[in-house]
Each structure stands twice: as C-alpha cells, then as structure tokens.
Amino acid sequence: MPFILSADAARRPRVLVINPNATEAFTEGIRGSVSADVELDFYTAPAAHAPASIEGMTDEIHSASACICELRAHVDKWDGFVVACFADHPLVHALRELSNAPVVGILEAALLMGASLGTRVGILTTSPRWEPLLERDVASLGLSKLNAAGIVSSGLGRLDLEELPRASVIKVLCTAADVLQDRRRADVIIIGCVGLQGLEEAVGEVCQPGMVVLEPVRCGLELCLGLMRMGARTSKLGMYELA
Amino acid sequence: MPFILSADAARRPRVLVINPNATEAFTEGIRGSVSADVELDFYTAPAAHAPASIEGMTDEIHSASACICELRAHVDKWDGFVVACFADHPLVHALRELSNAPVVGILEAALLMGASLGTRVGILTTSPRWEPLLERDVASLGLSKLNAAGIVSSGLGRLDLEELPRASVIKVLCTAADVLQDRRRADVIIIGCVGLQGLEEAVGEVCQPGMVVLEPVRCGLELCLGLMRMGARTSKLGMYELA
Amino acid sequence: MPFILSADAARRPRVLVINPNATEAFTEGIRGSVSADVELDFYTAPAAHAPASIEGMTDEIHSASACICELRAHVDKWDGFVVACFADHPLVHALRELSNAPVVGILEAALLMGASLGTRVGILTTSPRWEPLLERDVASLGLSKLNAAGIVSSGLGRLDLEELPRASVIKVLCTAADVLQDRRRADVIIIGCVGLQGLEEAVGEVCQPGMVVLEPVRCGLELCLGLMRMGARTSKLGMYELA
Amino acid sequence: MPFILSADAARRPRVLVINPNATEAFTEGIRGSVSADVELDFYTAPAAHAPASIEGMTDEIHSASACICELRAHVDKWDGFVVACFADHPLVHALRELSNAPVVGILEAALLMGASLGTRVGILTTSPRWEPLLERDVASLGLSKLNAAGIVSSGLGRLDLEELPRASVIKVLCTAADVLQDRRRADVIIIGCVGLQGLEEAVGEVCQPGMVVLEPVRCGLELCLGLMRMGARTSKLGMYELA
Amino acid sequence: MPFILSADAARRPRVLVINPNATEAFTEGIRGSVSADVELDFYTAPAAHAPASIEGMTDEIHSASACICELRAHVDKWDGFVVACFADHPLVHALRELSNAPVVGILEAALLMGASLGTRVGILTTSPRWEPLLERDVASLGLSKLNAAGIVSSGLGRLDLEELPRASVIKVLCTAADVLQDRRRADVIIIGCVGLQGLEEAVGEVCQPGMVVLEPVRCGLELCLGLMRMGARTSKLGMYELA
Amino acid sequence: MPFILSADAARRPRVLVINPNATEAFTEGIRGSVSADVELDFYTAPAAHAPASIEGMTDEIHSASACICELRAHVDKWDGFVVACFADHPLVHALRELSNAPVVGILEAALLMGASLGTRVGILTTSPRWEPLLERDVASLGLSKLNAAGIVSSGLGRLDLEELPRASVIKVLCTAADVLQDRRRADVIIIGCVGLQGLEEAVGEVCQPGMVVLEPVRCGLELCLGLMRMGARTSKLGMYELA
C-alpha cells in the first residue's frame, strides 16, 4: 500500500491532477487555484488526440482514450488522481480499473461535499447543452437527490468565457446564480465548469449573505487527499476489478 | 430526410450493425442471427485499437474511440445504426451526436421491448463483473424500473463460452435462468451478451412454459427499423446537438 | 407460434388497431395516418356501451369492458394488437391476459421510442384534466424517468378540436409546444391525443429545427410490428397468466 | 355537504361497503368482521356481469363496469364508500369521479395506516399471480416506499381457501408470514385478501410478540369514517373532476 | 390491550393531544378546533425547557426532550397520542418506542388522508425556512410521492401571524394558495402550520370550487381514533422495539 | 472566516470530535484511532442527561439535547465538528444551525467517501434494531442509492461487544461481513458502529482481497478537514439559517 501518507515513507505522496482537455491554459488556471501538502503534478490531455474543450460524449471518449494511452503505463507513480472535468468523465472509471489508488471526479466530489454544507445544492454550468449532459451524469452517479436545486446554464459558451470582458462574464454568471438562488432555492452553488475557476468569489458577492459557493477542483483535491490520508484504496471486487 | 423508407427512394435504406469488439467471430454470429428487408451492413471494431472483447470501462472507451475514428467521415451512408454491445456503450451517444439517423443500443432496446411483454424483466449476463456495470448502465438509461427482476450472472467468462462444450455452457446458463425465474420471479429473460446468441432457445426450453426469452441484437434491429419507418430522427436540441 | 412473419406462412400476419372510443371519425383519422406491410384491421368500440370520447377512469372502464365483450371470442384472429388510446388503458392489460400475441399501448410505445431519440421527452395533451391522469399512467408504467419534460395541456377539449378552425387549433397547440420546448427543455414532443393526428407537422414547424415530434399511433404500430417480426409473445408467467 | 356527521343532521350518515366480486359469501364475511356507528350498507357485484372472484385485469374491468352501471344513479345515497378489493381497483377512481363523498380502497388504506404503526410493512397475499399485480398497484398509488417488506404469496388460490380444512390454510399462511417476518424483516403484516378475513388472529399468534397484523377492510372503513367526520370531500379540481 | 375501544371497558378511551411548543395559546387554538367521542387531554410543552415556537432542529430536539421527560412515566394513561407539530417531529418516534398505543404525527396524517381525496397534494407553510425542513421530513417519512404539488411558503413568520390583522394574514395566505393551485396544480391543500388553524375556510373560499383544504390536527386526531378503534398497536419488532 | 486553515492565522485550527454517548471509554477508543494536523478536542456527552449508549430515537433526543446545552455557548471555539454517532443524529443538524463551521456526521461521511471507492457500499451494524433505524437515516440523507448493498446486522448488542472475548466478536462480525460480500455483493464495507473501531482490519482480513473496509470516524474527520481547508462554511440560506 504505497499510497498511505506516513512520516517514514521513502517518498512524499504524489497526486496527479488531470485536465482531460487539450488546453494548457485550463491546466494553468487549475494549477493557480489549488495547493496541497503533497507533491502535485498536473497533466494536460495530448492535443494530437484529445479535444481542446470537451463539449459532448464524442469529445469525452477521445479525451479519455488519449489520456489512458499516455498514462496507463505510469499509474503507479501516483497515490491519488483528480480528474478535473466537471462531468462523470469515463476516465474516472477507467483509472479506477487501472490503479489501486483513489480516483476522484470533480462533479461527484463537489456534490458530496456540498451535501455536508446545505440541503439544496445547485449547479451553475456554461452552455445550455451541458444541462441534459449533467442531468444524466448526476443520475448515473446516484446523486440526483443531492442536487435538489438542479442545473442552470449561464448561456455562455467556452469561447465567450475567453473572449468576453471579465465584467460581462461575471454579469451573466450572476444572473444564472440568481435563478438558482431565487427560483430554485439553492443554498449551495457549485461553479460547474473548469473554465469558471476564480469566479466563485464574484458569484458569491452577488448572492445573499450565507450562500456557499464551491469550486469543484478544490473539492476534488480535498476529497482525494482525505481518502489518501485514510489509506483508502479503490475496491477491486466489483466494477473496478483490475483490468 | 434521406432515411425514410419509401418505395420511390433512389436507394434502399441501409442499416449499420456495429460490433464494437474487435472480434470477427462475434460479428459473424450476429450476421447469422438477424435479417431485415433493408440493406444490412456489419462492422467490426478495428483490432489495432479496440479490445477483442469489452470487459469494462477502459475497454469501452478504446472501443468507442476506435469506432468513431473509422466511422465518423462516413455516417451519412446509413439510415440507422445498431450498436451491438450489451451495455450503455458510449458509442451510442457519440453516434447520436454525429448523425441525424436513429441510433439504437441493444441493452436499451431489449429492456424497452421486454416492457411490452411482461412486468418483471430480468437480465442473464456472463461474468459477475458485468452485474455492477449493467446495474449502473440500466440506471443511467433511466430504465431501472423496467428491470424489476435484476441482473444475474452465469459466472462464465467469454473464454468459457468459446472453449467449454456447448452442453456445459447451456447447463450453466440454465442454472442462472432458474435463479431469474424462481427467486427473482422474472417473466421475461434477456440473454444479455453478444456471445450468447443462438442460445436463447436452449434457455427457453428449460424455463416454464410462458417465459419470454429475448435476444438483444434482434430487439435493437427491430427498434431501429421501426424508428426508420416512422421517419424519426435523433433530436438535435438537447444532449445530441450536432458536434 | 402462428404470429411470426414469414414468407411461407399460410396467411399474412394481421394486426388489429383498436380505437376504444365509440367514434368512427377517430378510427378514420387513425386509418388515414398509418400503413404497414401486414393486414391491418381497424376496430371502433361499440357506441351502445363505450363512451364517444374517453375523458376519465369511468370512461376507460366502460370502454374496456365493451371492447373485451366483443373481442374476447375472436382474439386468435390477430397476431398483434395496438390500443390507440393515449393512456395506460386497462384494455392493454386485459388483452395481454386474453391473447398470446403482443399488445401495445400507444402511450408506452411513444415514450419507449422517444427515449431512443432524445433525453427530455415531453407530452403535449388536450384538456388540463389529462395532466394528472397521464402523470399517474406514466408512473404506473414505470416510465416517469423517460418523461423528463413532463406533460403540458393545450387547454383544448375534444370538442374544441372538432369545432374550432384548424388554424386556431394549431395556434393553441403551438403555444403549448413552446412551453415544452422553452420552459421544460423538451427535445422530443409526443402529440398525446388521438384527436390530434395529422397536426404533428404543424407543431414541428413552429419548433426549433432539430426538435423531434412523435405521433403515438405510428409508434404503437411500429413497436407492435417489431415485436411480431421477432416472434415475441406476451409472457404467461406473471401478471398476464392466461385468464 | 350532506356527508358531514353531525348530531342534528336529518339522517344518520351512511357508508356503502362494496364487494366488487359477485360472491355473496365474501360479502357476508366482510359484514361479519366490521361494525361502525353509522348506517352500513353492503353491496355485492351483480353475478350477471361481474366475476365471482377477481383474478386479474379483465376481471377488474368487468367488475368495475358492472358496479358502476348499478350504482351510478344512486351514489347520492351514501356519505362514504369503501371498495373492498385488495387492489388499486379502478372502481375506486370511477366512484371518485361520480361522487363528492370520500372513496377509500382497502389496499391504500391498509398501507397508509400501517405506515403509522411500523417501518417495514409487508403484504401477505394468496396466489403468486397477485405478486406482480399488487407490485404494480402499490407503485401506481405512489406507496412503494410504505411497503418496504414487499409482497409474499401463500401459494393458495381462492379455491384452496374455501376447500382446504381451516387448519391447513392457517399452516400455509403462517409459512408465508414467516417469510415476511424473518427474511423481509416486516414489522407490520397486512392480510392482503378479502377471503382471508378472520385469519389475522391465527397469523398473529405464530408471529413474534410485537408484530402488528392488519385486516384491510377494517382499515378501509376506519379511514373512510375519519374522512367523513372531518367533512372531507373528494377534490373536484384534478383527476376527479365531475364526469 | 387496554386501548381497544369497547362498550364494556372499565374506562373510556383517552387520547393525548400534544402541543410540543411551550405556548398555551397554540394549545387553546387546537382545543377549540377538535372534538371526539373519547376523553381528550391536551398537553403543552414546558416553558422551562421547550421553545415557545419550534423553528428548526435545535428547537425540535429541546421540545422533544422536554416532553419526554415529563410524559415518560405516564404514557400508560393514554390509548393514543397525537403530536401536533407540522413536521416529522422526533417526539413521534420516541413515543412509539415508549408506548404500545398508536402515535400519530400531523404531517404524516394530513398527507396520508390527502392521498385519498386527490392526486396532487400541496402544503402551504409559513416562513421560507420551513420549505427545506418540510421537504426533508416528507422524504424521511417516505411520502414524497404523496406531495406532488410540493411545499409553498406564505412568507409569514409566526410573529406576523399573531400581530398582523387577520385580514392581512388571510390575504397573504391566499396568494400562496394561488401558487399551489395555479402553478403547482394542487387539488388538495394542507394548511401546514399549527398557528394557521381556523384559517382553512378563508383559504378554501378563495380557491376554485372543488379544492379540498385540510387542517392537519383534525387529520391527526381522526387517524389516531381510527387506529384505536381497530385495536391497532405500534409494532414492537423493528424500529420501535421497547426502549 | 476564522475557520480557514492558513499559515499566518493567529491560532491553529481546532476540531471538536463529539461522542454523543455518555461513555468515556468510547471517546478513548475514538481518540486512539484518529490523528490530524490540527488541534483535536474530544467531547463526551454528559452522563447526567445523555444515555450511556444510543439505542433509538429517545436516546438520540436526550443525547442531542444534553450536548447542545453544554456546547451551545462555546461553538465559536472550533473550526469544525465531527459528530461520532453512526446515524443521522439530530445534533448534526442542530450544530449546523448554531455554527458557521462545517459539521460532519460520520454516517454521511462514510457513505460519501465509500461512493468514490466502489459501487456497492454496504453497512455492517450491531443489533438488528439498527437495521430499520439506519435505513430510515440513509433515506433521510438522500443517500440510499449510495448504499446499494444495504445494511446487515451482526446480531451483537453493545454489551456483547464489551463482554465477549475479542475472538468471538470478530468471528460474528466476519459472518455478517460474509453476507454483505457474498449475498449483497458489497465491494466496500463500512463498519457501522463506534464500538467496533479497531476491528476493521480483522474484518478486512477475512474478506476477499480487494475489499475496502472503512472506519467511519476517520471518514468523518477527513471530510471535515477537507471542508475546512477549502474555507467552506455551512450555508445560512436554507435549512440551517442561524437559529
């Protein structure tokens, strides 16, 4: 069990944070937003085979396949994995088949952590297309009851996020946050998109005092670190039997 | 709408039946078990990138990725698709993004058709590992209530299916069918594995008279043909917006 | 198994399409909207005992009872049945008890087929009273998860459908379709009423491109034909044991 | 509101207990097992059109149709109705359309009352065929969560109940009660069949002390009386709008 | 079984109606709104330890603890208990552990009784905070499917109820009732607050004819009386094993 | 936000681990099994008002009430709370009303963490009575889908745990673990009882290799630390509005 954190271990524990989009800028955004008392490695999906930005199932498949091809032979180097795509990305399940270490997806981590902080967790996502995709993924994970306030799209595409002035982006996000807060009665809002990192404070500021705004990559990392400190492994008896 | 069946169409409608396993023998088994009044093409996943037999999520991802790479440029040639893997294979959803034509997975088709024939549909699968995988997939599709008798594994791996004498295979399958019939009170049994084709009669013979035994590739093909005859397209407004 | 379609069968397969309302005009509407490569018989519930238009449970009971009395002795004449009432009409279940052939209700058929074409299927019905009735029926069939966009009433009663100018009817339907499309985010719309046949194109035209509009009698017939071609029988082991 | 119990009312409140089976002996069994401080009338379905014993959907339809034909013109005579068939019998819903007075089915009444007495209510029914029928009905009523211990059949048909010596019947019932108690961990058992009345004590005696055994006709009558004393009417705004 | 109602019993049956708020005025309101053909005792939680008005989980805990301390030694005096707090108050479950007699909570009673009168029961509550609390409680009781129209808050706090002119209170309640009726399509409305007693008629008057408005304390009392007349005890085999 | 971990904070973050049973020995067991890089305080419920061992709802109420009375005035001293009772203990919700800091219950923490490690999490509890109690609590938390393998009791009471030789205790636990593993197909087992700490290794040793065995207090502490490191507060907008 090389992935238990302990004082006398030969090496410090290592976590791999995976950006399954082939866009270094996203990885840099992630790198800038997290920190931990372990070795943190960051990985970007290879541009040759993975999409620059995952926008559907076809993209997820190519992204997952490209990452597995590169990572498969090296999974033993890490004691934990965080898959930084806000979806039930198939790479999460593939890595659980390929490694004994804990593997955490950021969608599930954010919902699980949100469930300890309030009772009506809502998700703020980007384009409308992600609404049915995320509904399906949340149900797949068995977590629909933890997402009582549902999923609301800001209407912004990834491109808008990069090209619009930051103030305009924030304005649109806050309108969507209002829908979650007022009409859906959310008491916790998850900023459900890797590209939205760093905007959680802006969103929090327009919400009523007492609202909790969660950034999912940090949720994923903290859940992974918690599992690692407990010495927890991925089960090898059911769905994740060694491939 | 080139995929509507009509007497005066310039060409006969064409359906592609996809075996996403890289094993020609499976494709031959499928080819031998179905027929239709349309042009039927059969496709086998490429051995260079897809697994010989899909046994988990990693396999599904490589299988789907390999098939998309080969098929993507040619999807307009067909008026309907059947993905002949007994799972919620991601290729089903990817093809729905890439094509306007109906795309049918055989797990969903068998459950939907079984729901019209009885009230407690059960699934007989191969290795125990498929039990949690299929449970997850049935839930993902929103069809858990149509699978009231659940999933029972025969304990046979794919290798056993090929190497054991046919009589032994049948004996083991029938024991599992008994569990579905007696303990789970199934009134419809789906033979949930491509490799088990042709064995539905043997299973039917050991069940009580009145039991319905369904072979899923035939279910998938008939559902696809029905959708085609109605002129139905895949919706492009929600999850399957053109990629 | 006399109901398998085959070239050498002594007689062509026969399907009975049942209008359980005692209104010939509805039957004519249905007859005009479907076609198939089998013998199609059309049946209208007897005016002496069945209601002209089914508007609740009392009506359903009288309709079912009247149809059974007339059909019971003759069920062997047909190889498949379609019950053309957009509800979980009790006649569907009674016929499954009385016959070995497949029996399809058009509500369940439309939901099952819609589930292969999109992820948020919605139902457009006539009068508000049908909303709670259909909610109950969809739940009874175990299909609530396949009806994510719910049920929306146009507010038109059956009488309005017959008496109002066609343009007015279409206008009202399109308003209801808008609710399904915009507020409920439907990607598939089922025109949930026998009296609305022939209006699916008008509805489709006002929706965004990419919307799928389904006419349930055609769904029912195609599902029935698919089951027949597979040689599928109704299970006689559970709820549909021979009466 | 003629159905409110009050001291100065011109007439005493009247309840009609309906045996929708055309068998007087069942009605006599019911009559002997209940009493109330109101006028109790007992009605037996007419033998000319209703089945002697309801054993499926066809029977339910004929039973309901026959009862409605006879009762429809007279519903104003009663201030409450109890439909004494252990099922979601369609007559319950039809009467709610036809009358303003409360209408109670004994399956729903027993589950609702059981929910106040324990947490794992189980149903003991007669023939195996009733298991899928009751599962469907409990789900239809939205009460599956109140039936945590499920439904267990004794294997006895109605004929056995009448012809076997009482000691043998009790022995078989107790075996089924054991399954509910030990394997399903029921803490409340509903004797789910009109023909089993008077046997609840025998069943109670073989169970562990502390088990609650409920007779559903009494549950139905008490729920109906409670609704009447509150002056409650059936809602006329949704599904039960006046026919 | 001292709690069976019978003509020859040495004493008349006695029911304790518990107001777990430490406010006598609420108890007087309850006393004025119910009557029964048994001895009715009314109890108010002790002001020294219980809150004047329950507004959350902390309050519920102190309320329950204070009531148990006072009542525990005397539970044998009563043949039935009604806990008059519109919530899944923990005192309900504690009393079931401490007594053999039936114990009824008014939230569950109102939902169970409403389920016999319509198909879309809605709850009208006071402050917005009760919305998530009641959602949780309804789910806990397994009754979410019986609350199809959900929970709507009037926005009034308890203080407003006491201090505002009655006409203003009624106006606000009626606005909330409108939301339940029009947007949520409720056909039964439960006035979900002990402080709102006596206002059900005012609410009923602004609703469409045919709406059913239920007052939960009366529901609780009638359900309790019904259970008592049946001689029903609380099960001692599962969750309510004697403490 | 005084509870964010940061290098320059005036004081080290502090977590309170609460044993709501009035038994110091349990607290010592907990203290011996956890460690963390923060100040850990341990609290035992006061023997004067709280039960020595929580065995039902009455006990939970007294335990929660006693803890709140002592802790209420001091909640600001801690930056996080772990309630070490394997249940949906009401103290969890009360503390969330009383404090801004994260409050974690160990039942929810163990299920949430187990969901990242396998797909069929099971719970091994002590006495049979805890089965219905835990079923209710898991449903209350909205986590039933994360507990696919259900709850199995070892049959041992708390007394047995203390008085029986350790080898006998282990033997009985292992039998129950076998049921979870073989019949319920669990791939993750939660040792669901504070008194069973330290036995997870013994249980793990008798399971098949690859099984994950979780100790819930460690899960609770790690989840709490993760929330604290993220700077997460309890939401004050919905159910946990400041009391």
pTM score:
0.95
Report the pLDDT value the prediction gives residue E195, as an integer from 0 to 100. 67
CA distances E123 to E59, E126, E213, Å, are: 21, 10, 10
Report the pLDDT value the prediction gives residue E10, as an integer from 0 to 100. 64
CB D91 within 8 A of CB D119: no
* Cα–Cα distance, C32 to F200 (Å, whole number): 70
CA-nearest of F21, F90, F73 to F49 is F21
CA distances C20 to C52, C62, D81, E165, Å, are: 9, 10, 29, 56
**Which tens digit of pLDDT belongs to each residue from F113-152?**
999 999 999 999 988 999 999 999 999 999 999 999 999 9
What are E79's two structure tokens?
């043949």
Identify the bridge partners of residue B125 per DSSP, sorted by sequence position. B153
Residues of F in contact with B132 (CB under 8 A): 119-120, 185, 187
**Which tens digit of pLDDT belongs to each residue from A168-186?**
888 999 999 999 999 999 9
* Cα–Cα distance, B144 to A145 (Å, whole number): 16
Identify the bridge partners of residue F150 per DSSP, sorted by sequence position. F122
When CB atoms are compared, the residue of F212, F222, F238 closest to A120 is: F238
Q: Per residue of chain B (243 residues), what is the pLDDT tens digit?
A: 223 333 445 679 999 999 999 999 999 999 998 999 999 999 999 999 999 999 999 999 999 999 999 999 999 999 999 999 999 999 999 999 999 999 999 999 999 999 999 999 999 998 899 999 999 999 999 999 999 999 999 988 777 777 888 888 889 999 999 999 999 999 999 999 876 777 888 899 989 999 999 999 999 999 999 999 999 999 999 999 875
Give every CB contact of residue D130 below 8 A, 6+ residues apart in sequence.
Answer: D151, D153, D192, D193
The four Cα atoms F17, F20, F24, F29 give a dihedral, to 10 degrees, of -50
Tell me the nearest-neighbour CA distance from D144 into chain B, angstroms: 12
Measured distance between the N- and C-terminal CA atoms of chain D, rounded to whole angstroms: 19
Average pLDDT over residues D127-156: 94
Tell me the nearest-neighbour CA distance from C125 into chain A, angstroms: 23
pLDDT above 90 (res F5): no
pLDDT above 50 (res E3): no
Q: What one-letter code names the amino acid at A163? A: E
CA distances E216 to D105, E11, E101, Å, are: 21, 28, 20
What are F175's two structure tokens?
């039998």
* Cα–Cα distance, F176 to F158 (Å, whole number): 16
Give every CB contact of residue C38 below 8 A, 6+ residues apart in sequence.
Answer: C5, C12, C13, C14, C15, C79, C80, C225, C228
CA-nearest of B132, B194, B136 to B161 is B194
Chains that touch E (3 or more CB pairs under 8 A): A, C, D, F
CA-nearest of A61, A83, A65 to A15 is A83
pLDDT above 80 (res E9): no
What are B83's two structure tokens?
């993905």
Tell me the nearest-neighbour CA distance from D189 into chain C, angstroms: 23
Tell me the nearest-neighbour CA distance from D200 into chain C, angstroms: 26
User: Are A97 and B57 inside 8 Å of each other by CB?
Assistant: yes
User: Are E119 and C131 inside 8 Å of each other by CB?
Assistant: no
Let me know if chains D and A touch, i.e. at least 3 Cβ pairs under 8 angstroms.
Answer: no
Let me know if chains D and C touch, i.e. at least 3 Cβ pairs under 8 angstroms.
Answer: yes
* Cα–Cα distance, D207 to C157 (Å, whole number): 55
* Cα–Cα distance, C150 to C194 (Å, whole number): 18
CB A83 within 8 A of CB A106: yes
Place of tokens 């579905």: B180
* Cα–Cα distance, F96 to B243 (Å, whole number): 45
Let me know if chains B and E touch, i.e. at least 3 Cβ pairs under 8 angstroms.
Answer: no
Residues of B in contact with D137 (CB under 8 A): none
CB E188 within 8 A of CB E121: yes
**In E12-148, alpha helices (H):** 24-33, 57-71, 90-98, 106-114, 130-140
User: Are A222 and F211 inside 8 Å of each other by CB?
Assistant: no
Identify the bridge partners of residue C15 per DSSP, sorted by sequence position. C40, C80
User: Are D211 and E235 inside 8 Å of each other by CB?
Assistant: yes
Place of tokens 């991601």: B90
How high is the mean pLDDT of chain D?
Answer: 91
pLDDT above 60 (res C53): yes
Could you give all domains of chain C from N- to C-terminal order, each with its CATH number?
A: 14-106+218-229 (3.40.50.12500), 107-216 (3.40.50.12500)
Instruction: State the angle between helix axes of B90-98 and A57-71 in degrees (0 to 180), rounded to the nearest 10.
Output: 130
What are E133's two structure tokens?
């609390």
pLDDT above 50 (res C2): no
Q: What one-letter code names the amino acid at F241? A: E
Average pLDDT over residues D143-169: 88
Q: How many CA atoms lie within 13 A of B85 on its CB side?
A: 34
Average pLDDT over residues C112-134: 95
* Cα–Cα distance, C182 to A32 (Å, whole number): 38
Tell me the nearest-neighbour CA distance from D13 into chain B, angstroms: 42
Three-class SS state of B124: strand
- The interface predicted TM-score of the complex, written ipTM, equals 0.94
Report the pLDDT value the prediction gives residue D132, as an integer from 0 to 100. 95
The four Cα atoms F156, F157, F160, F161 give a dihedral, to 10 degrees, of 80
Report the pLDDT value the prediction gives residue B11, as an integer from 0 to 100. 75
Report the pLDDT value the prediction gives residue B213, as an integer from 0 to 100. 96
Report the pLDDT value the prediction gives residue D169, as an integer from 0 to 100. 87
- How far, in whole angstroms, is CA D49 from its chain's centroid? 21
Q: What one-letter code names the amino acid at A206? A: V
Report the pLDDT value the prediction gives residue D7, as an integer from 0 to 100. 42
Q: Return the number of CB contacts < 8 Å for C and D.
A: 83
CA-nearest of B78, B18, B13 to B44 is B18
